[in-house]
Structure formats: C-alpha cells, structure tokens
A and B are shown apart, each in its own frame.
Chain A
C-alpha cells in the first residue's frame, strides 16, 4: 500500500513569508508526528496527533509554528513569518496507534528560507 507522502518535496521562500507543509499518513494510522531535521543535527520532535485528541504541541519551537489535522488524516504544518533558522527538512511519520508502534516516515519537505 501507499506510504506516508509529503508535499512539496522542496520549498524555497523568502524571509517573512508564510509556508504550509502537507503530510498524508498511511491509511488507518491514527498517530501522526512532525519532526524537524536541521543540517548536521538529529531529529527534533515538533508535534504529535493521536486520533481526535488534542495534539501535543510541546515541541513547537515558537508560536510561529502551528499544525492541524483534518478528519484524523491529512496534516498541515504552518510556519508563519519564516526566518532563516527555520531552514531544515521537515519529516512526517505515522503509526498505527500509540507511539509504541512502529513509525513510518515520509520523504520529507526541504525548506529553504532565503
């Protein structure tokens, strides 16, 4: 079956602009995660959705970052007023239920803020 998909694969934007990144999880996966991977850095947890529960936003680095998940499926990560330090690869993962299940990752969106 189809894996996790993300779009766009690459995004170049100017400082101060807003961007939206999309994640389409594996069908039937109720848990969805967003991570950020900066150049030469490890993966940084951003936000977690589980079913219809309120998301855990404790990893979001600032209030310029927000995410939503519509209908328990597709998720959108929005970064407002982008800064150069937001440049990174944004990875989305999904799993069957709670996070003790195996996580499957999408190919990521490479964001470059000029």
Chain B
C-alpha cells in the first residue's frame, strides 16, 4: 500500500531564506508526482508535475526533484517571500486513477 509522508509538518522561516520541503513514498512504482499549494480555505493550486521518467522540474523560484529508487522528492523554494506562506502538498500517482496525498507541510515566511 502506497503511503506518502511529508516532513516537516510545519516550517517557519525568515523572508529571503532558501528552503527545502521533503516528500517520501513507500512504493517506487509511480507514474508521476505532483506538488500543490493550498492557501487557507482554498482549493489546491498545481505547482509542478514530475513524470516518473524525469528527475526534476523547475518553475520560477521553485524546483522539484524526484528520486524514484529512494522514494523521495524535494521541493526547493529559493528566496522565500511572505506570499509563499501556505500548505504544500505532494501527491503520487501509482497508475490508474488513485492519487495518494501527503498530509502537507505548513510553511510560514516571516517578513
């Protein structure tokens, strides 16, 4: 059974700091991994999608890496800003329709 774990559960950093959010999964047989952002009371916003054949994806200040063999993905946020404060979720697709989500990392960036 696929399980997805995100560490840390919460993180508070000063503005401008570079930071790394971690996601691990127990079954390396995945189709893709997707990182989302969720603001309080809102839906999920897709940030990056990494297919199983890819090692990383970049969008602006965000970089996500994927190491299937070790069951890990990291989301790197460069030069963090207060507007980055949100909950970040990773989700793995193991084929078919099932997408398994982690519990998320709550990020707070202090001005």
Contact = CB atoms under 8 A, between A and B. Distances in A.
Interface of A: 4, 6, 31, 33, 41-43, 45, 48, 50, 56, 91, 93, 98-100, 102-108, 110
B44 A56 contact: no
Interface of A is mostly: strand
Contacts of B102: 42
A42 B44 contact: no
Contacts of B42: 107-108
B99 A42 contact: no
A107 B89 contact: no
B104 A42 contact: yes
Contacts of B91: 43, 103
A104 B46 contact: yes
A48 B95 CA distance: 13
Contacts of A110: 41
Contacts of B51: 100
A43 B101 contact: yes
Contacts of B65: none
B36 A48 contact: no
A102 B97 contact: no
